[in-house]
Amino acid sequence: MKAAVVFKKGNAPQYADFPEPEVQENEVLVSVQAASIKNLDRARAGGNHYSAENQEHQPTVIGSDGVGYLENGDKVYFFSKKGTVAEKAVADRKMLVSIPENLDFSIAAALPNAVMGSAMALKFKAGIQPGNTIMINGATGITGKIAVQIARLYGAKKIIVTGRNEESLQSLLTLGADEAVSLQLSDDDFKQKIKEIHKETPVDIIVDYIWGHSVEMILSAFKGDGTFSHKTKLINIGGMSGDTIQLSSQILRGTDIQISGSGLGSWTKEESALLFSEIIPEMFQAAVNGKVKMETQDVEIKNIESIWNAEMQTGKRLVIRI
């Protein structure tokens, strides 16, 4: 079969022949129609992700999920640890989701990862409730845009977003955000703005996609003064602005804040099962109903090597069509 294969660690994947996967017990064979490419897939392909950095590299088909047809003709989204950007892939029977007939394959391929990076954090790690005030830090990326829409679906009363790209930041106001704060402000102006927002409408949940200095500023703005403070949960999902921060112990002692993460390895088996049985199906239907919008940049698999390091269109998820 044809597939997108990384033959040498760190190299771009190549369009090449590769052995068709063997179906093991509790697996099914999928005729793949499309697969999205995420930061996770790029990091794994380069051997840089924490789930793959200690593994000896072998020629590997890229991709962690995809969409296609089962042998009986059912249209499904699937997850696989054995590569998905190929004509054929195998999937665990428990990690299949039916795709509505009128949902495009590209949208179905692109949406689940963004849903994982927002719905799982909001629902399970933060325990979002209708009426909550949500801040999304670094919201101008693909997953952040989905987070805005999902927070609104889950009943958020107010949604504050931060980001550097001014055009993308303002576009979030049309997707359901109520207030935008630019990360291009000076540190003092940014912290003052966050303080004012938190005083006016106390923030219940912070969903953070970038970590780094912006989180240091937000925590500094939330720092208590020795009186009772509002309970806030900060859920980290990514580290695009740096993997570490400086955290004052005074913030933890003087502020009712809970910090945790959401990602591979942080979800329980029960939560992961609900992702496939409830959350993704719910978001597929929301997409069909026009309540969740996702943009994609579609590329044929034969062009995988030339597109791998190319600059993507802002706000669009790369989807490889097979």
- pLDDT digit string (tens) for 265-276? 899 999 999 999
Taking the C-alpha atoms of residue 155 and residue 129, their distance in angstroms, rounded to an integer, is: 7
Per-residue pLDDT reduced to its tens digit, 130-164: 999 999 999 999 999 999 999 999 999 999 999 99
**148, containing H or E segment:** helix 142-153
**What's the pTM value of the predicted model, to 2 decimals?**
0.89
Per-residue pLDDT reduced to its tens digit, 81-91: 899 999 999 99
Homologous superfamily assigned to 118-261: NAD(P)-binding Rossmann-like Domain (3.40.50.720)
Mean pLDDT of 180-185: 98
Per-residue pLDDT reduced to its tens digit, 215-263: 999 999 998 877 889 999 999 999 989 999 999 999 999 999 999 999 8
On the 0-12 / 13-18 / 19+ scale of CB atoms within 10 A, 186 is: exposed
Q: Say yes or no to pLDDT of 312 above 80.
A: no
Name the residue ranges covered by the structural domains of the chain. Answer: 2-112+295-321, 118-261
- More confident: 57 or 142: 142
CB atoms within 10 A of CB 54: 7
Band (pLDDT 50/70/90 cuts) for residue 43 is confident
CA angle 17, 23, 25 (to 5 degrees): 160
* Pairing mode, strands 133-137 and 205-208: parallel
CATH number for region 2-112+295-321? 3.90.180.10
Mean pLDDT of 307-315: 80
The answer to whether 2-112+295-321 and 118-261 have equal CATH topology is no
Q: Say yes or no to pLDDT of 49 above 90.
A: no
Among residues 239, 231, 271, 3, the alpha carbon closest in space to that of 125 is found at: 271
Per-residue pLDDT reduced to its tens digit, 33-42: 999 998 878 8
The per-residue pLDDT of the chain, averaged, comes to: 93
Taking the C-alpha atoms of residue 64 and residue 44, their distance in angstroms, rounded to an integer, is: 9
CB atoms within 10 A of CB 262: 24
